[in-house]
């Protein structure tokens, strides 16, 4: 009998022991989530400090204590798929296992990713139905769990294999119509099940005041290129879909999932351009997640890899370096219990609740603990034509000159973390030579790291000072920076922005 999971008397005794006493107890290796939080010694806790979630795919039979201890997000591996929960006419049924997983996540402070609604595979009674039945199912699934689900994979695996850049040639694509035969499904007169499914999901989210974010998920879209350096056409096709439906006038898609099953398939390799590809999706304003990560421990056809732990490190780093890469989910706990056990692609060995950390685990934890890069360019970095910091401006004003300014502030918030993007516009009639922007937090927010500005905080007062490359703001010009922060559960928008001491308008 393991003492670990919930012997209340022993647990409460340990809480009052000092660290030294705890070490002396030795054999009673109880680590409550609280103890882990204190040391940061858990993937979920380390990830949360870096501003992202670290999750796992699970089934009710795999909910050993490691799940709640190590991970901060949970994806039902199979129990929310239509072949389990879709009844006739788009109804939702048979949700017992899914409910077990959602309840487990809730009581372990994990967020849930719903997986998945519209998919050619495991479609159950949705298979072959029309858009109106899909819409009914989308509505029922969203309303069944509401805000208990943070992210839903609305559309899964819509694109063809073999790097064709086409849609998968089977239902639900059979619903699509290319009215003018121009090769896409983006024209108003076209029928596009991706558009229509997200449209429905967006309407349900909006009209019910839900916070659930709507994602599209696929595999082999991780790199800009595939093996041999050819363009990744599948990734490009996904980019065009996300670009189209995340922007005005649609604004349907919030997030894109790179499944990240890395193996010897030439389109599934880890490329050096993974980070750049994450970044280009992020620059559309969507969140990027690595949703089903596993890495074959023998990527013999992968010319990038040098061992599984190094590959995990590289993939996690690629996400950490892009602020809008807000979560990583591994597709299972241990190798032997994985859908691809022969690849030994996960972070633990062992099984049945008795798991051993692999070198890959240590690599991931170490990388998460290093946090986000502070030097990587943000989507708002200046173009190469921005004047260099040393080039003298003919109209350099005195630092005391009055400024007129406008501030645009947008944030992207989850559990206890957020990222924010700030753009300052110089609305005065003078060039600004150097700047500091101040504001105060209405809540308990804390800035944890920043890019393109040096940000300091004292109490609830924050000061952001220009970086070298963005110190000059021409008349009508802008300077941008971003940061990451933590909050206690509520992240109200700050007010009281002032640039070099003068109040700014907020847009």
Residue 32: other Cβ atoms inside 10 A: 17
Place of tokens 């006038």: 249
- Which residues carry out catalysis? 157, 292
State which of residues 121, 170, 493, 505 lies at the interface with ligand 9MR (CB under 6 A): 121
Q: Which residue, 331 or 451, has its beta carbon nearer to ligand 9MR? A: 331
Q: Which residue, 95 or 440, has its beta carbon nearer to ligand 9MR? A: 95
Shortest Å, Cβ 143 to ligand 9MR: 22
State which of residues 70, 77, 220, 335 lies at the interface with ligand 9MR (CB under 6 A): 77
In whole angstroms, how far apart are CA 178 and each of 29, 133, 169, 236, 249? 62, 21, 13, 19, 20
For residue 354, give the nearest of 64, 90, 71 by alpha carbon: 64
State which of residues 292, 296, 335, 343 lies at the interface with ligand 9MR (CB under 6 A): 292
Give the H or E element holding residue 21. Answer: helix 19-25
Shortest Å, Cβ 126 to ligand 9MR: 15
Q: How far apart are CA 439 and CA 198, in angstroms?
A: 37
Q: Footprint of ligand 9MR on residues 330-359 (CB under 6 A)?
A: 339
Tokens of 406: 């406008």
State which of residues 78, 127, 265, 430 lies at the interface with ligand 9MR (CB under 6 A): 78
| Residue closest to ligand 9MR (Cβ) | 339
Q: Which residue, 151 or 497, has its beta carbon nearer to ligand 9MR? A: 151
Q: How far apart are CA 397 and CA 419, in angstroms?
A: 33
Q: How far apart are CA 75 and CA 243, in angstroms?
A: 25
Residue 446 contacts residue 455 (beta carbons within 8 Å)? no
The number of residues that bind ligand 9MR (CB under 6 A) is: 7
Residue 110 contacts residue 150 (beta carbons within 8 Å)? no
Q: Which residue, 78 or 381, has its beta carbon nearer to ligand 9MR? A: 78
**282 phi and psi, to 5 degrees?**
-60, -35
Alpha helices in 272-381 (DSSP H): 274-282, 308-320, 359-370
Q: Using the rule CB under 6 A, is 259 a contact of ligand 9MR?
A: yes
Shortest Å, Cβ 343 to ligand 9MR: 11
Q: Which residue, 117 or 450, has its beta carbon nearer to ligand 9MR? A: 117
Q: Which residues bind ligand 9MR (CB under 6 A)?
A: 77-78, 121-122, 259, 292, 339
């Amino acid at each position: 009998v393991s003492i670990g999971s919930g012997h209340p008397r022993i647990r409460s005794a340990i809480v009052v022991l000092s660290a030294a006493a705890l070490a002396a107890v030795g054999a009673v290796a109880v680590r409550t989530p609280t103890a882990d939080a204190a040391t940061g010694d858990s993937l979920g806790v380390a990830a949360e400090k870096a501003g992202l979630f670290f999750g796992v795919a699970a089934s009710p039979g795999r909910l050993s204590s490691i799940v709640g201890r190590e991970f901060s997000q949970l994806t039902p591996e199979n129990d929310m798929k239509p072949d389990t929960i879709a009844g006739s006419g788009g109804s939702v049924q048979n949700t017992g296992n899914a409910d077990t997983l959602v309840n487990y996540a809730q009581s372990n402070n994990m967020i849930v990713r719903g997986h998945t609604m519209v998919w050619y595979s495991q479609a159950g009674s949705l298979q072959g139905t029309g858009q109106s039945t899909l819409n009914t199912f989308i509505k029922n699934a969203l309303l069944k769990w509401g805000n208990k689900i943070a992210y839903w994979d609305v559309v899964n695996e819509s694109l063809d294999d073999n790097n064709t850049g086409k849609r998968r040639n089977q239902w639900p694509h059979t619903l699509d119509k290319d009215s003018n035969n121009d090769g896409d499904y983006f024209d108003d007169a076209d029928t596009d099940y991706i558009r229509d499914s997200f449209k429905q999901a967006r309407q349900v989210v909006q009209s019910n005041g839900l916070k659930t974010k709507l994602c599209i998920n696929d595999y082999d879209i991780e790199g800009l290129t595939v093996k041999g350096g050819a363009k990744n056409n599948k990734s490009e096709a996904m980019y065009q879909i996300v670009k189209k439906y995340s922007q005005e006038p649609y604004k349907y898609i919030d997030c894109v999932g790179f499944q990240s099953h890395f193996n010897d398939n030439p389109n599934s390799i880890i490329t050096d351009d993974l980070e750049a590809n994450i970044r280009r999706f992020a620059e559309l304003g969507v969140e990027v997640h690595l949703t089903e990560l596993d890495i074959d421990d023998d990527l013999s056809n992968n010319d990038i890899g040098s061992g599984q732990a190094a590959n995990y490190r590289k993939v996690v780093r690629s996400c950490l370096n892009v602020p809008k890469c807000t979560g990583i989910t591994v597709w299972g706990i241990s190798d032997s219990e994985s859908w691809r056990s022969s690849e030994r692609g996960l972070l633990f060995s062992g099984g049945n609740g008795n798991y051993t950390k692999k070198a890959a685990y240590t690599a991931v934890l170490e990388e998460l603990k290093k946090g986000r890069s502070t030097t990587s360019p943000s989507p708002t970095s200046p173009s190469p034509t921005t004047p260099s910091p040393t080039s003298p401006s003919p109209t350099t004003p005195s630092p005391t000159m009055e400024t007129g300014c406008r501030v645009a502030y947008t944030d992207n918030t989850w559990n206890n973390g957020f990222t924010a993007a700030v753009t300052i516009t110089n609305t005065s009639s003078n060039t600004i030579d150097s700047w500091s922007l101040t504001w105060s937090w209405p809540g308990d927010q804390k800035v944890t790291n920043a890019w393109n500005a040096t940000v300091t905080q004292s109490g609830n007062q924050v000061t952001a000072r220009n970086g070298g490359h963005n110190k000059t703001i021409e008349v009508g010009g802008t300077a941008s920076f971003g940061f990451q922060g933590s909050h206690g559960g509520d992240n109200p928008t700050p007010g009281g922005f002032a640039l070099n001491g003068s109040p700014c308008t907020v847009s």
